[in-house]
Amino acid sequence: MRIAVIGVGATGARAARQLASTDAVDTVVVADADPGTRRKVADLLGAGAEASDADVPEADVVLLATPAGTQAALGTQALRQGASVVATSDDVGDVRALLDLDPEAVERSATVVVGAGFAPGLSCLLARHAAHTLDQVDEVHVAKVGTGGPACAEQHHRALGSDGLDWRDGGWMARSGGSGRELCWFPEPVGGRDCYRAAVPDPLLLVDAFGPLERVTARQAANRRDRLTARLPMLRRPHPEGGPGAIRVELRGSRAGGRHVVVYGAMDRPAVAAGAVAAVTARAVGDGSIDRYGAFGLAALEDPLPLLADLAERGIRAAAFEGGAGV
């Protein structure tokens, strides 16, 4: 199996390392706009890795970890070169454009997995797993905190300054970024954080996977300074590795005739978790474990347990919330 990783920043470099240590992967092709970076990462990966100066190298699977807003064009090119695609972007425009590749991917007998990162990505796997505990799902609510590196921090900043998407009673509603404060509880040691609407694509992927629900929302954590400066250029240089992060996925529905709420959470450094999710997804696409053609998010997988089990072996674990504020 030959897998190309395009973009080896905080997330892509971690995905490349995990793929290089996966027995089923014969070759990891490292591509990056910076020649020195791609050579350095390929050298660190050792035998079985090679650097490429191609925009989109030839491969069985192309994993996209480039900045938000760039992945739709790269994914289209990879698909037309005969590859399947795993995209990590959390940009609403990227996600919409990649989902629109569904008919072409089906025609080409190829797979395009959209939003294979921390959130969306792990959030979608947890939503599908939680759905199996209910007879009927009516609502899905996602919240996240933390960023995975400079590009992720910049996207987080842009998202908070842009309209968020809510799904309500059969239609999309645009809601002002930075509005709709909710106190959301995440796994410890993150705990409770104020979260707000933002332009994050999780609802697009969840509605695409589950069909029309009553409500689907997504929020991200922010403080007062974040909200006041969201429509301005970033005032501080982002941390190169990001910091601790967490996700929370809440499903509301029915089981055995009664109303139930199921809440899952996970805590890790977002770039670490995103790299692991992207790597296990790319491997699963390459070896046929994900055997569906078309363009879709991870919530569309009927059985998320194999990927969740693989992630747990790599140290990425989730937990169910018990009670109001703990895990």
pLDDT tens column, 13-54: 999 999 999 999 999 999 999 999 999 999 999 999 999 999
Percentages (nearest 5) of helix, strand, coil residues in the chain: 35, 30, 35
- Stated pTM of the model: 0.93
Task: Give the pLDDT of residue 135.
Answer: 96
Class of domain 122-270: alpha beta
In contact, 251 and 130? CB cutoff 8 Å? yes
Q: What is the dihedral sign for C-alpha 179, 225, 274, 129?
A: negative
Which pair of tokens denotes residue 103?
């008919």
**Domains of the chain, residue spans:** 2-118+273-308, 122-270
In contact, 245 and 152? CB cutoff 8 Å? no
Task: Calculate what percentage of the chain has a pLDDT beyond 70.
Answer: 95
Looking up tokens 């805590």, which residue turns up? Answer: 267
Task: Give the pLDDT of residue 239.
Answer: 56
Task: Give the pLDDT of residue 228.
Answer: 74
Query: What tens-digit pLDDT sequence spans the chain (327 residues)?
Result: 999 999 999 999 999 999 999 999 999 999 999 999 999 999 999 999 999 999 999 999 999 999 989 999 999 999 999 999 999 999 999 999 999 999 999 999 999 999 999 999 999 999 999 999 999 999 999 999 998 777 777 887 888 888 999 999 999 999 999 899 999 999 999 999 999 999 999 999 999 999 879 999 999 999 887 777 767 776 566 555 567 899 999 999 999 999 999 999 999 999 999 999 999 999 999 999 999 999 999 999 999 999 999 999 999 989 998 654 333
Strands 258-268 and 318-320: antiparallel
Looking up tokens 């450094």, which residue turns up? Answer: 269
The superfamily in CATH containing domain 2-118+273-308 is NAD(P)-binding Rossmann-like Domain (3.40.50.720)
Closest CA to 209 of 249, 257, 181: 249
Please name the helix (run of DSSP H) or strand (run of DSSP E) that holds residue 219, with its range, or none. strand 215-221
Task: Give the pLDDT of residue 27.
Answer: 98
- Distance between CA atoms of residues 276 and 85, nearest Å: 16
In contact, 226 and 211? CB cutoff 8 Å? no
